[in-house]
Chains A and B, each alone.
Chain A
Amino acid sequence: AEVEETLKRIQAHKGVIATMVINAEGIPIRTTLDNSTTVQYAGLLHQLTTKARSTVRDIDPQNDLTFLRIRSKKHEIMVAPDKEYLLIVIQNPCE
């Protein structure tokens, strides 16, 4: 229930296009987009997050990845990683 609330709140923010929750195997648990797009995002971002995390840890083993932001021309993809799950939000930053 709180989960619902949190996710709904995030989705309601200005500029947010989509929200997704992915598990460690890349299975979308919760998503606001259609399935095919979600699956695409899930697969690609999962790999990228793993790579980013390993990069951070290679440089400093005590360090860990807390947040990943990918800003592109059209929108910004924000990934909040965890050991088991991945929270992905796609937002259109207003400029």
Chain B
Amino acid sequence: MEIVHIYTRKRSEFGRPCSFSDRPAEVCVDIQPNPSLAECFVLRSPVDAHVQHSSDMSEHEVNTERVEVETRGVNHVEGGWPKDINPQEMEQTIRFRKKVEKEENYVNTIMHLGTLMEHCVKQNNAINIYEEYFGEEEMAEVEDEPPSAKTINVIRDPNITKRTAAHLSWHPDRCKKLAVAYSSLEFQQNMKGMSFDSYIWDLENPNKPELVLKPSSPLVSLEYNPKDSHILVGGCYNGQIAYWDTRKGRLPVEVSTVEVSHRDPVYGAIWLQSKTGTECFSASTDGQVLWWDIRKLSEPTEMLVLDINRQGLLENALGAITLEFEPTMPTKFMVGTEQGIVIACNRKAKTPPEKIASTYSGHHGPVYALARNPFYPKIFLTVGDWTARIWSEETKESPIMWTKYHLSYLTDGCWSTVRPAVFFTTKMDGTLDVWDFLFKQNDPFLSLKVCDEPLSSLRLQDNGCIVGCGSKLGTVTLLEISSGLCTLQRNEKNLANAMFERETKREKILEARHREMRLKERAKSEGQDMEMEEMQEESPEEAFSRAQKEFFEVIEAELQRRARAEAQHLPGKVKKQAEEEAVLQGAESELPKYEEEDEEKDA
């Protein structure tokens, strides 16, 4: 509502002198308050007002005018000639040039410049001043830093009752995510309030898990599918297998039926290399290894009982703690058992008993970790009881190399993906050891105390630099190891290969020797059966003569073989005769024996 006061005056009256007079105040407009409008207003209480005691500041922006810079090039095409000379005409240019050459300034300048130039030309001819010295030797600077590892991240179990981080699995593609299986591995210690969840953590956000996986029973092992990074398979504490799709949410997509699953916690679950990318297999302490196709988890596709007597009896079966599978060897896999034996199995064998190819026994307690060397697949590492041992597939009786006995139990181990002779182990006292077997075999190369509680699992990221350790209270610590430990040194592959071969050969020789001794024992006992009245006890002379006889046998065999090669008649009969006689005759004096052999040779 506008209040307007209009004051009019006639044009003819403009310019008149003003006479001012006093007048009492006059009300021009009186607008009464309108009570109905008052209803529309709401009383505001409290009213906040702010006061600030500071100097007033204001922000201004200033921009200078942009200076446009332009670079231009001019192609000099025969310009520059003085105006009167036509560059096309040879005569004029020549005349001009001759004129210039006669100038004194020119002469002096050229003399001066000439000496300067000659100096440089000669210099160039003398040596190559731009030669790169020490070009090849730049790599020698790297080794001086001492090995170290630093913690980059610590991820804690968000629940109140802490559970052990039983298994870790890195995301196959980008390694920025880590799936951790949490469960309580103590026997019958499941507390009431313990949650069953396992989490997938994103390393960028260690405070809150990226995805929660809710199985029906706590997960003991968890693995990403290397082909499809959205799918994970998990083995539960109650023996079931479940698989998740991270796009579909927190509940498993499918769970195997209880009747056909394992009867004990599924300690190992690994994806298989298959065209469909949906096959996996699992092992548990109930002694079975089951193969599954995740599209149909209602029953396993195949089953194997870990009975080393090859009879398939579940009662004799050994409980499996770890499972190992190398995608480059798709038909073979290895199982580490509670009894300390490693069983190498062949999946493609015709009958179930034949599936168990060979066994390696060496640990006093459960084999907690089993890993093949990524560079030399015949060599594998087992971790159990108080040592870590390195085995070669060929020598079945004993490991080719081993660490000393530690004070605390070793819980997990894995090879470095980058350096062939480096591996990591974790212990019950919370330390992580890095071993470099080329450098030192008695002590770990680097030993780090990660936390006070026992470490239960270990996983190395594919690039070899970051290692995640899970502890008993559910804390996952991520460590970055120094670059010296994760870059391949010069010649390291060859040296590691040579070392493994050397140790394997040593073990083979020892094995052969053992076998020989056992054969002799057995032969001796057979010989005893046939001539029981002799040889009731073995006197030192008899032992000596026997040893001597064996020695001569070996030489004799060699000589005969050579003779055979030359003579080429009586193939094998001569040798065989000599051997038979040696076995059956027992302890006779060696001299007539040797003469006999001599005669045989001459014959």
Contact = CB atoms under 8 A, between A and B. Distances in A.
Say whether A and B bind each other.
yes
Interface of A: 2-3, 6-7, 9-10, 13-16, 21, 23, 25-27, 29-30, 39-40, 42-44, 46-47, 66-67, 69, 71, 76, 78, 80, 82, 84-85, 87, 89, 91, 93-95
Given A27-B80, A78-B120, A95 B97 contact: no
A76 B100 contact: no
Interface stretch (B107-115, B231-239, B405-413): B107-115
A47 B125 CA distance: 27
A13 B126 CA distance: 12
- Tell me whether chain B's interface is mostly helix, strand or loop, or mixed: helix
Interface stretch (B69-77, B208-216, B485-493, B516-524): B69-77
A85 B106 CA distance: 8
Contact of A87 (B76, B80, B113): B113
Contact of A15 (B75, B96, B125): B125
A93 B116 contact: no
Given A85-B106, A85-B109, A94-B124, 12 more contacts: A3-B107, A15-B121, A16-B121, A23-B100, A26-B76, A39-B78, A42-B76, A71-B130, A78-B117, A91-B121, A93-B128, A94-B125
Given A25-B80, A47-B73, A87 B114 contact: yes
B125 A6 contact: no
B100 A29 contact: yes
- Tell me whether chain A's interface is mostly helix, strand or loop, or mixed: mixed
12 contacts: A3-B106, A10-B121, A13-B118, A14-B125, A26-B79, A30-B97, A80-B113, A80-B116, A85-B110, A85-B113, A87-B113, A89-B117
B81 interface: yes
Given A69-B120, A84-B105, A46 B125 contact: no
Given A3-B107, A89-B117, A29 B101 contact: yes
Ranked 9 nearest A-B pairs via Cβ: A43-B76, A25-B80, A6-B114, A87-B113, A80-B113, A26-B80, A93-B124, A95-B128, A13-B121
B110 A3 contact: yes
A78 to B, nearest CB: 5
A9 B122 CA distance: 11
B85 to A, nearest CB: 9
B108 to A, nearest CB: 9
B116 A10 contact: no
Interface in B119-149: 120-122, 124-125, 128, 130-131
A32 to B, nearest CB: 14
A84 B108 CA distance: 11
Contact of B131 (A27, A43, A89, A95): A95
A23 B100 CA distance: 9
A27 B121 contact: no
Interface in B394-446: none
Contacts of B111: 2-3, 6
B123 to A, nearest CB: 9
Contacts of B130: 71
Nearest to B120: A78
Contacts of B112: 82
B124 A6 contact: no
A40 B79 CA distance: 11
A15 B76 contact: no
A43 B114 contact: no
Contact of B114 (A7, A40, A44, A66): A7
